[in-house]
């Protein structure tokens, strides 16, 4: 198959990067270059931000119902192209096609939903405490929004940000991960085909370390929306702060998945597997700390090992595959280094713990066996740090109070799972767990209708749901006076 070569999408035009250089995108399963993405530099950042800035006034002024209609047209086209986009995603990041198909069939919802919200946003008339004055509020878009995203769910992360941003009347510059930029360019082709005005959506690719700073600090960028690692998120936050840019961050996690003795254990086993082995554990919401009540610990671990052993590893493009390779060589090395750390800390490996080398994995050097460590205590690095791979830390607890204390004793707070058939625990525990999303008797469920984001070091702001659109708007307050001016001009009215 010929190698695809993409161009930047700026101001409605396809163009080569100023560097005239491209970055190879490697298919993690075949270990072969399958596409090339442009290596943009600061000059391209300027072009994209300028284009988005020029497009902003007329996009912001367009009647919201017209913006919404265009977004719904985009959603229709995305729905038609779901299978094509899913294949691109799987090829680029090695995630299984079943998951990427599910994501791509779900993707249009973001553009239907926020497109539908566009003309429902209104300010309010305020009965103000000043006689003979009319006071009211209106919502206005911010301007140019830069979105910087990671490689694990590339287009979903873009949709989380740009669907509310566009509906609110902002224009966008998308900078996807250098490991998985292809789908953003395929997305741009669809944007172009449905007739978005030039400059409303721009896509540039390249190394974050090279041109990320120019994008974040660009004077025409009003807000940065980011998904990625916590360290990068903190660096972006501090850079943005120097220029007083608005920021939302969706960062890492080390989520507790808590199983009580009264749970339906077979369901909970499925939940534990979905928490850590789905997507080869490369998800911010991974349930990477499995907290097991002491009385069921041994039985549960045995069931879990049985289940995980049967997971089919191999070609992500095969619909029956359940675990694919990890996405990047550096991620592969990082996961192996954490396995070593866990062993050195005294945790006991009861499943996996090494690269997978079965026949079905032989093309790719980046498969890691589903790995389970028991005898983990919550102070170990393997319990505290995000591995972002198929490595589960199992921690024992005795009482409900102990489970809550362990769950919350962590720098992160993105998600948590609770498995119980006791209605009291199901209702009371979500209130005391410090996480943005808590699942009871389910795991890894995300909806465009439900706010998503992190407590503590897992991020700032919430994506999805009605509230997300307000992150891309600002309030204007207007006072109109019909009063005769007879108060002192030197005193605050």
The span of 33-41, 125-133, 221-229, 344-352 binding ligand TXE (CB under 6 A) equals: 221-229
- Distance CA(23)–CA(175), nearest Å, equals 14
Is the Cβ of residue 149 or residue 378 nearer to ligand TXE in the bound state? 149
Give least dist CB 205 to ligand TXE, A. Answer: 9
Per annotation, catalytic residue among 87, 99, 186, 250 = 250
Q: Is 239 a catalytic residue?
A: no
- Distance CA(280)–CA(252), nearest Å, equals 15
- Distance CA(288)–CA(386), nearest Å, equals 8
Contact between 23 and ligand TXE per CB under 6 A: no
Contact between 149 and ligand TXE per CB under 6 A: yes
- Distance CA(203)–CA(155), nearest Å, equals 12
Contact 216, 239 (CB under 8 A): yes
Q: How many helices (H) and strands (E) does the chain have?
A: 16, 23
Give the one residue of 334, 381, 434, 456 binding ligand TXE; rule: CB under 6 A.
334
Give least dist CB 444 to ligand TXE, A. Answer: 13
Give the one residue of 25, 93, 227, 322 binding ligand TXE; rule: CB under 6 A.
227
Is the Cβ of residue 369 or residue 386 nearer to ligand TXE in the bound state? 386
Give least dist CB 283 to ligand TXE, A. Answer: 6
Is the Cβ of residue 148 or residue 259 nearer to ligand TXE in the bound state? 148
Contact 387, 342 (CB under 8 A): no
Contact 407, 428 (CB under 8 A): no
Per annotation, catalytic residue among 49, 87, 284, 361 = 284
Residue pointed to by tokens 């349930």: 287
Give least dist CB 364 to ligand TXE, A. Answer: 18
Q: Is 250 a catalytic residue?
A: yes
Give the per-residue SS3 of 168-180: CCCEEEEECCCCC
- Distance CA(407)–CA(421), nearest Å, equals 19
Give the one residue of 185, 196, 260, 388 binding ligand TXE; rule: CB under 6 A.
388
Contact 429, 262 (CB under 8 A): no
The span of 66-74, 223-231, 440-448, 467-475 binding ligand TXE (CB under 6 A) equals: 223-231
Residue 421's CB: how many other CB atoms inside 10 A? Answer: 12
CA distances from residue 310 to 389, 399, 426, 447 in whole angstroms, order as listed: 18, 32, 30, 29
Packed helices 82-93 and 64-80: angle between N→C axes, nearest 10 degrees: 70
Is the Cβ of residue 150 or residue 172 nearer to ligand TXE in the bound state? 150
Q: Phi and psi of 286, rounded to 5°?
A: -50, 135
The span of 123-131, 228-236, 302-310, 376-384 binding ligand TXE (CB under 6 A) equals: 228-236
Give the one residue of 36, 41, 202, 331 binding ligand TXE; rule: CB under 6 A.
331
Closest CA to 326 of 156, 152, 114, 132: 152
- Distance CA(291)–CA(300), nearest Å, equals 11
Give least dist CB 331 to ligand TXE, A. Answer: 5
Give least dist CB 313 to ligand TXE, A. Answer: 21
Is the Cβ of residue 184 or residue 268 nearer to ligand TXE in the bound state? 184
- Distance CA(108)–CA(378), nearest Å, equals 40
Is the Cβ of residue 166 or residue 240 nearer to ligand TXE in the bound state? 240
3-state secondary structure of 315: coil
Contact between 288 and ligand TXE per CB under 6 A: no
The span of 115-123, 144-152, 392-400, 465-473 binding ligand TXE (CB under 6 A) equals: 144-152
Residue 382 tokens, joined:
């393997």
Q: Which helix (H) or strand (E) holds 119?
A: none
- Distance CA(393)–CA(374), nearest Å, equals 6
Residues contacting ligand TXE: total by CB under 6 A? 26
- x/- site string to ligand TXE, residues 166 to 205, per CB under 6 A? ---------x-xx---------------------------
Give the one residue of 252, 352, 390, 461 binding ligand TXE; rule: CB under 6 A.
252
Contact between 25 and ligand TXE per CB under 6 A: no
Q: For strand 22-27 and strand 32-38, is the pairing parallel, antiparallel, or unpaired?
A: antiparallel
Give the one residue of 56, 111, 114, 151 binding ligand TXE; rule: CB under 6 A.
151
Contact between 329 and ligand TXE per CB under 6 A: no
Contact between 352 and ligand TXE per CB under 6 A: no
How many residues make up the chain in this entry? Answer: 493
Give the one residue of 236, 269, 342, 438 binding ligand TXE; rule: CB under 6 A.
236
- Distance CA(34)–CA(36), nearest Å, equals 7
Catalytic residues: 250, 284
List residues near ligand TXE by CB under 6 A.
148-152, 175, 177-178, 208-209, 212-213, 216, 227-229, 232, 235-236, 251-252, 284, 331, 334, 386, 388
């Amino acid at each position: 198959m010929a190698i695809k070569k993409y161009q930047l999408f700026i101001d409605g035009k396809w163009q080569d990067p100023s560097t005239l250089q491209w970055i190879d995108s490697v298919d993690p399963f075949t270990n072969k270059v399958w596409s090339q993405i442009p290596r943009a530099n600061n000059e391209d950042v300027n072009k994209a931000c300028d284009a988005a800035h020029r497009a902003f006034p007329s996009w912001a002024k367009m009647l919201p119902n017209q913006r919404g209609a265009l977004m719904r047209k985009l959603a229709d086209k995305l729905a038609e192209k779901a299978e094509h986009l899913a294949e691109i995603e799987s090829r680029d990041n090695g995630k299984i096609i079943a998951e990427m198909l599910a994501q791509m069939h779900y993707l249009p919802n973001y553009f239907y939903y926020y497109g539908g919200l566009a003309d429902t946003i209104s300010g309010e008339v305020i009965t103000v405490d000043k006689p003979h004055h009319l006071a009211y509020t209106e919502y206005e878009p911010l301007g140019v929004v830069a979105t910087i995203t990671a490689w694990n769910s590339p287009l979903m992360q873009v949709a989380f940000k740009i669907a509310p941003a566009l509906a609110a009347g902002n224009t966008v510059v998308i900078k996807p991960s250098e490991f998985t930029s292809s789908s953003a360019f395929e997305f741009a082709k669809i944007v172009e085909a449905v007739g978005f005005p030039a400059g409303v959506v721009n896509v540039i690719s390249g190394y974050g370390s090279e041109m990320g700073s120019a994008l974040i600090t660009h004077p025409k960028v009003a807000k940065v929306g980011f998904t990625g690692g916590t360290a990068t998120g903190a660096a972006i936050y501090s850079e943005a702060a120097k220029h007083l840019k608005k920021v939302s961050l969706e960062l890492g996690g080390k989520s507790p998945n808590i199983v009580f003795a009264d749970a339906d254990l077979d369901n909970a086993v499925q939940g534990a597997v979905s928490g850590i082995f789905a997507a080869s554990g490369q998800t911010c919401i991974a349930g990477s700390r499995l907290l097991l009540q002491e009385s069921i610990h041994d039985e549960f671990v045995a069931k879990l090992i049985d289940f995980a052993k049967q997971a089919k590893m191999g070609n992500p493009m095969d619909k029956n595959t359940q675990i694919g390779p990890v996405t990047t060589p550096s991620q592969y090395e990082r996961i192996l280094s954490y396995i070593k750390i866990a062993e050195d800390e005294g945790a006991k490996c009861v499943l996996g713990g090494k690269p997978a080398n079965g026949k079905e994995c032989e093309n790719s050097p980046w498969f890691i066996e589903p790995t389970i460590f028991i005898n983990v205590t919550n102070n170990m690095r393997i319990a505290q740090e995000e591995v972002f791979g198929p490595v589960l830390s199992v921690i024992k607890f005795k009482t409900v109070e102990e489970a809550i204390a362990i769950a919350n004793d962590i720098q992160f707070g993105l998600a948590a799972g609770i498995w119980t058939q006791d209605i009291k625990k199901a209702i009371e525990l979500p209130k005391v767990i410090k996480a943005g999303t808590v699942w009871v008797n389910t795991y890894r469920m995300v909806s465009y209708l439900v706010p998503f984001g992190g407590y503590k070091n897992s991020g700032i702001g919430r994506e999805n749901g009605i509230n997300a659109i307000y992150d891309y708007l600002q309030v204007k307050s207007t006072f109109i006076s019909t009063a005769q001016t007879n108060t002192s001009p030197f005193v605050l009215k």
